[in-house]
Structure formats: C-alpha cells, structure tokens
Chains A and B, each alone.
Chain A
Amino acid sequence: SQTIHQWPATLVQPVGSPLSLECTVEGTSNPNLYWYRQAAGRGLQLLFYSVGIGQISSEVPQNLSASRPQDRQFILSSKKLLLSDSGFYLCAWSPRARSDFNYGYTFGSGTRLTVV
C-alpha cells in the first residue's frame, strides 16, 4: 500500500532562519506531488506542485521554494523565514493521471511551523 511521510511534525523557527521540510512517498511510482499551506482557521493554499523529477510549478510568489530531487521525494525550503510563513504545511500525492482528471489526494500528517 502507498504511504506518505512528512517531517518534522512541529517546528519553531526564528525570523530569518532557513527552512527545510521533507516529504517522501512509498509504494507508488511517478506520483504528482503537492505542497499546501493552511493558515489558522483558513483554507488550503496551493504553494507548489510537481509532475516529475525536477519539474516544479509555483503558485504563490514568495520566499519559499520547492525541489523534487527524486521521484518520490519533495522538499520545501526557505532561505529566510518571515513571520507570515507560520502555518500548517501539508504535503500530498495523487496518482499520475491525465491533466483533466484527478483521483484525489492523500495528505501527509503535516508540519506545524511557528515563526517567532
């Protein structure tokens, strides 16, 4: 069966510090991978998605970046965190499908980031 791992679960970082969140998927190949952020009491905001190794699409211009160095690994990074980067970060995967169809997402357990 497929599983998705995301770590760390919680993180408290000072303003201006770097960030690296990692997500890995097991039990599938060529998944579509996504990073979402959920601010307190708010909906899910799509940050990045990837349909293959090295292929990253950015949805929100900001001080975050994403990379996909391996087929089942997705990394979210920042060189300098802002207070506004606080939130619940969620990695998700979906099976590869044609562009007009989607099977739905499986989410990781999330990382709760607090920038202080």
Chain B
Amino acid sequence: QKEVEQNSGPLSVPEGAIASLNCTYSDRGSQSFFWYRQYSGKSPELIMSIYSNGDKEDGRFTAQLNKASQYVSLLIRDSQPSDSATYLCATTGGFKTIFGAGTRLFVKA
C-alpha cells in the first residue's frame, strides 16, 4: 500500500525561527510532490509543489526533495503565528494523490 508518513507533532517553534517539516513516501513511482496548509476547520490550501530533486524556494517557504531517500521536507523561515496550522505532505503517481496525516505546527509569539 502506498503511504506518506509524517510526524503528527505538534511542532512548536518561537516566532522568527525556522520550522522544519519532514515527510517520507513509499511509492518510488511518485512524480509530483506537494505541501498543503490546513487551518483548523478549513480545507487544505496548496502552498508548494516540487517535481525534481533539490530545493525550490517561494518567499519564506523552501521545499526540498530527495527521491533516492524518498524524502520531502518543507522549511518555513521567519515563522509567524499565522503559520500555525497543520501541514499535509502529498505525493502523486498517476491520477491519484496520497496525503500524509499532517504535522501540526504552533508558532509561539
């Protein structure tokens, strides 16, 4: 069974620090990788996509992909209280996307 594993957290970081979120996946055929942010009671929102090995930066967010290790990470620089949410890692092989259960992040002011 194809799986995406994340530490459920909660991960607590002080305001202004770097938050590091990690994810591993089992399907070596996965081609597309995503991070979604989900605020409590709301639907997930796509914040990062990455398709090739290495780093991809978008503002305060950096996604990192290592296909050999089947590992995806998300770094959030200068963390803000508004970043407090659950972050879902997801991978796609074919038409279906498999989601991890998410990591809860708390940013303390």
Contacts and interface: CB of A to CB of B under 8 A. Distances in A.
Nearest to A57: B95
Interface in A9-51: 32, 34, 36, 42-44, 46, 49, 51
Interface residues on B, range: 20 to 34
A104 B51 CA distance: 11
Interface in B8-22: none
A116 to B, nearest CB: 20
B46 A105 contact: yes
A43 B100 contact: yes
Given A104-B32, A104-B34, A44 B44 contact: yes
A107 interface: yes
Interface residues of A, number: 24
Nearest to B104: A41
Nearest to A107: B43
A105 B49 contact: no
A43 B99 contact: yes
7 contacts: A42-B101, A43-B88, A43-B99, A90-B44, A99-B95, A102-B32, A110-B43
Interface of B: 31-32, 34, 36, 42-46, 49, 51, 88, 92-102
